[in-house]
Structures are given as structure tokens and as C-alpha cells.
Amino acid sequence: MIEFHLDSRSGVSPYLQLVQQVRQAMRLGLLKDGDRLPTVKDVVARVAINPNTVLKAYRELEYEGLVQPRPGLGTFVTRTLGGDDDSRAAHEPLRQELTEWFERARKAGLDDEVVEALLLSTFREFSEERAGRRG
């Protein structure tokens, strides 16, 4: 089971934040095929959010073919995202390398903001380069 949270300053609409959090959890393997999403009542009781917003997020996920409501039982994940087992097996060593990288950055005297900026800008350059090669 996952827990939702809401960032009111993000500028992303609440319903979209819920959708993104489910997708994210699926990509990270926290939610797998057959797992149940929290009920609408659980979500509103926890996040203090409009019930229709939760329903809308679940409908969107259903439309994307990621979840399926089963009447009287709840809403269930129907797919596993983030590739097959092989690609998820690669997560752990990659996470390890990234952790080591963070340690080196910290040793070099970089603070959190600089680390984040460096990570994001490198990732962006990398993605753009790849997109450029493909196009």
C-alpha cells in the first residue's frame, strides 16, 4: 500500500500529483500487478483532499490502463511498470553507484542544492543529446 502526499506550492494540480505518485510508485516497483490502491476514503482522510479529486485521479489511471476498479473490493494495479524483472534487477547496482557518487560530491564540498542542480542539468543534457541523436 502506498501513501499519498500533496505539495500545494508545486503548481501541479492535486489530481495530477496523485496520478504521478502512482506512476512513480509503479516504476520503482513499490506497486505491482495485483496491488490495491488506498480507498478514496483512506486518501481523503489522510491528505484532507476533495473526494472527487481522488476519483478523478483513479479514473485517469484506469483510462491509462494502469489500474482497474473491482466493485466492492477497491482499485487494483493491473500492470507492472518500469520494465521487466531484468531491468528492475539493474536498479540496485545503479542505486549503489549513485550513492557512491553522492558521497564523492559531499566529500568535494558540494552542498545539497549544488548536487541537485548538477544532477538535473547533467540528466537534461544527456536526455537532449540522446533525443538529438535519434532525431
Which residues in this chain contact another protein in the complex, by CB under 8 A? 6, 8, 11, 13-14, 40-41, 44-54
Minimum distance from residue 7 beta carbon to another protein (Å): 11
Cell numbers at residue 46, please? Answer: 489522510
The nearer residue to another protein, 29 or 74, going by C-beta atoms, is 74
The nearer residue to another protein, 44 or 110, going by C-beta atoms, is 44
Which of these, 54, 76, 56, 55, lies nearest to 67 by C-alpha position?
Answer: 76
Contact criterion met (CB below 8 Å) for 28 and 69: no
The nearer residue to another protein, 38 or 80, going by C-beta atoms, is 38
What is the distance between the alpha carbons of residues 51 and 43, in angstroms, rounded to a whole number?
A: 8
Contact criterion met (CB below 8 Å) for 69 and 39: no
Minimum distance from residue 56 beta carbon to another protein (Å): 8
What is the distance between the alpha carbons of residues 66 and 72, in angstroms, rounded to a whole number?
A: 19
Minimum distance from residue 6 beta carbon to another protein (Å): 7
Minimum distance from residue 73 beta carbon to another protein (Å): 17
What is the distance between the alpha carbons of residues 4 and 20, in angstroms, rounded to a whole number?
A: 10
The nearer residue to another protein, 52 or 122, going by C-beta atoms, is 52
